[in-house]
Chain A
């Protein structure tokens, strides 16, 4: 069980971003406690992806971010990754012309040579299909397999916080459920997860807490065990 009073794994304070003159993300604060599974829900265009891109410094933003109590506001994307903040981005972000093996090895870019095989074994345990497709070009795989590779590659980086942007997008329900269940397993092992997802029922089963984002602002923060029905959420979507 996690609480806000413990030092959060990541704490985002007054994070704001804009594209030109358009405020895509109004000052927003959130946190993920160590070992916590947090989901961000919201309608299309709510600013969910912008929020994740701002957290990982893929876009310029104002505000503050601490990670394990350390101020990481000024760090660049790759430096955040070195600390353990790893994101599987929207659209999977695979290196499509490379093989499954090459994608996975690149995930462990910062790993010591001796750590590689252990990490590969762990990924193959979670996603045996990747082991069968090691020499296949990533872009030639099915959508589900590509998503497995995106998650597997992120795990190769040995994340402390795994951020995922709509991993179920475009996948058959069974495959999406399989991937999200794997995230649940990883969370049970203690991995902090911040998930942006549109498939609310699946995400809410796994998460301990949910933020509702709409029109670039957080409208609500709810423990998932207090959500009786999805109608509870809908009123925040269309505030």
Chain B
């Protein structure tokens, strides 16, 4: 039986990684809300955020804050390119939704291969944003990066909620998700909204990748696991809602972290997937499905 210190430590670690899953899950929700598309390339944005930031930081010597900003903008640009080059042409030709979703999977694999060719296949990391640590509270150790993850995660969710509920563009994005034809009839450029959703999702993924890299590592292959966990988080919370996706992420992170403490690292995904199945059995729309579509 784990000690109380181990349990608290695991809970805190779970919340930290859960926030990262939550950001990825919100990325899924943003695109799904705007288009009905489940973008399985979402995890690749996480990988690109970490890889770009690492390259700017270590190769070009750019400070971390600037590397983070430039990387986030660059990954948002990749998201826009994906939307312009792949999604919109398929959308215009009225490709079935499953074909578009399959295309996003292909995009993930393609970008991974491009990263192997250009940046290599070796894992890499960079230091925590704030040097030193961890902060010790009794026997519990809190890495400084955890505070960055908590702070940035909370800030991003707050900003997104404000964006979706209080701004013209945010409302327009929600309108497109509910009735794209009616939105177009009011003068809302639906295609540009789709582009905005891809840019936003990619930026969210990038931020998640930049935040998590100092606590783990990044490599061409990390997109897959982050994408899957983000997807599970979105389903647990309830697809289509930013707060629900975030809570889904935290639930998943805590469950995974608890599974490691109680059963060992090998059971992390077994327990997480079991929880997913239980949630789907009893709450087919997710734990907070009622919040769906309301930012």
Residues of A whose CB lies within 8 Å of any CB of B are 56, 58, 76-78, 81-82, 86-87, 89, 93-98, 102, 105-107, 109-110, 153-154, 157
Contact = CB atoms under 8 A, between A and B. Distances in A.
A58 B188 contact: no
Interface stretch (B41-49, B95-103, B168-176, B215-223): B168-176
Contact of B187 (A58, A94, A105, A110): A110
Contact of B185 (A89, A96, A105, A110): A89
Contact of A102 (B171, B181, B185, B187): B171
24 contacts: A58-B185, A76-B184, A78-B184, A78-B185, A78-B190, A81-B184, A81-B186, A86-B186, A93-B179, A93-B182, A93-B185, A94-B179, A94-B182, A95-B179, A98-B171, A98-B174, A98-B175, A105-B168, A106-B183, A106-B186, A106-B188, A107-B186, A154-B186, A157-B187
Contacts of A81: 184-187
**Residue among A82, A93, A94, A102 with the highest chain B CB neighbour number at 10 A:** A93
Interface size of B as a range: 10 to 19
Contact of B184 (A58, A95, A154): A58
Nearest to B172: A109
Contact of A77 (B171, B172, B185): B185
Contacts of A107: 186
A127 to B, nearest CB: 17
Most buried by A among B174, B175, B182, B294: B182
B168 to A, nearest CB: 7
Interface of B: 168, 171-172, 174-175, 178-179, 181-190, 293-294
Of listed B175, B181, B184, B186, residue having the most chain A CB within 10 A: B186
B158 to A, nearest CB: 20
A106 B293 contact: no
A93 B182 CA distance: 5
B182 A89 contact: yes
Given A105-B171, A106-B171, A106-B172, A77 B184 contact: yes
A90 to B, nearest CB: 10
Contacts of B184: 58, 76-78, 81
Contacts of A157: 186-187
Contact of A86 (B178, B185, B188): B185
A109 B182 contact: no
A87 B178 CA distance: 17
A96 B168 CA distance: 17
A109 B187 contact: yes
Contacts of A102: 171
A109 B188 contact: yes
Contacts of B168: 105, 109
Given A78-B184, A98-B171, 19 more contacts: A58-B185, A78-B186, A78-B188, A81-B184, A82-B187, A86-B185, A86-B186, A93-B179, A93-B181, A93-B182, A95-B174, A95-B179, A97-B174, A97-B293, A98-B174, A98-B178, A105-B168, A106-B171, A106-B188
Given A95-B175, A109-B168, A153 B186 contact: yes
A51 to B, nearest CB: 15
Nearest to B240: A97
